[in-house]
Structure 1
Amino acid sequence: MPFMLDEVVNHFESMIYLPMVIQILERDRGTIEFSPFKLKGPYINIVENALEMAQSELKESNTYARNKKMKLIKKSKDDMFTEYVLIHGGHEHERRYLNVRLRNRTEELISVYFDKSFINPEVK
């Protein structure tokens, strides 16, 4: 199996994690909108800023993947693992991710996006 550059692996992992981050943030935004909070605006703004940053990064990764002729395929999932096939440069790389690892990393990324939305709330 040929070596994959860190940049390529980072984009593949963005293509794995960011859709999960986006899905969770969209669900959370809906929950906040219909919750009994008196002041929903600040919470919605934080979630929307984080959502926009995640969507922007996913778009960058998808564009990179398209330009480099990369493809990500979700192969299988069971109670413990999710397996992906990464296609790049005419080679297929199979990677197995622990579902707990996927969940924990997604949670870490959400925290990162929340932190960024606190630091630069106008930056999207």
Structure 2
Amino acid sequence: MQIKEEEHITVHYYILLPLVKKVLEKDRELFVHGAFKVKDPYLGVIQEALQLLHQDMRTIKAYMQKHRMRVQFEQNDGIFSRYSYVCRGYEGTSSYLNANLKRQARRCMDVYFSKRSPLHSDSILHE
């Protein structure tokens, strides 16, 4: 038995969105403590993106609870990150090329900066 495509996408966003959150929060701190003359516009854009991101993370978490899904980080060897998941009793593992995760995180950020959710865009995972 395989997991459905929608479940696979959910697992992937469960992995990807915390990475995006970490980058945005780190960037926010750089703007707060950086030597920028006008910080507010940048901080506002980042804060709006984080709000959308948190909504999406809640959506993903609720979906996973409803469908009895769990994801666990296994290892990062510097090139690949490996995760295990359980979905409807089916267990599996997925490996992600770190460079692809970075590229997809950047695409997610672009979508959040345009005040949209990447959960509604299939292009994040398939470009």
Q: TM-score range by the shorter chain?
A: 0.7 to 0.9
Deviation at 1:80, TM superposition (A): 1.3
Deviation at 1:27, TM superposition (A): 0.8
1:99 matches 2:98:
yes
Output aligned runs, 1:25-104, within 5 Å.
25-104=24-103
Deviation at 1:46, TM superposition (A): 0.3
* TM-score, normalisation: structure 2: 0.86
Deviation at 1:63, TM superposition (A): 1.1
* TM-score, normalisation: structure 1: 0.88
* Structure 1: gaps (5+ residues): 118-124
1 CA distance for matches of 2:16 and 2:77?
A: 17
Q: Which residue in 2 is equivalent to 1:113?
A: 112
Partner deviation per Cα, 1:17-57 (whole Å, 9 max, x = no partner): 00010111011111101112121111000000011111110
Query: What is the DSSP-based 3-state SS (H/G/I as helix, E as strand, rest coil) of the residue aligned with 1:73?
Result: strand
Point out the more displaced range, 2-11 or 29-38: 2-11
2 CA distance for matches of 1:100 and 1:25?
A: 18
Deviation at 1:67, TM superposition (A): 1.4
% identical aligned pairs? 27
2 CA distance for matches of 1:9 and 1:57?
A: 16
Q: Which runs of 4+ in 1 moved over 6 A?
A: none
The alignment yields a C-alpha RMSD, in angstroms, of 1.2
Is the 2:78–2:98 contact (alpha carbons within 8 Å) kept by the matching residues of 1?
Answer: yes
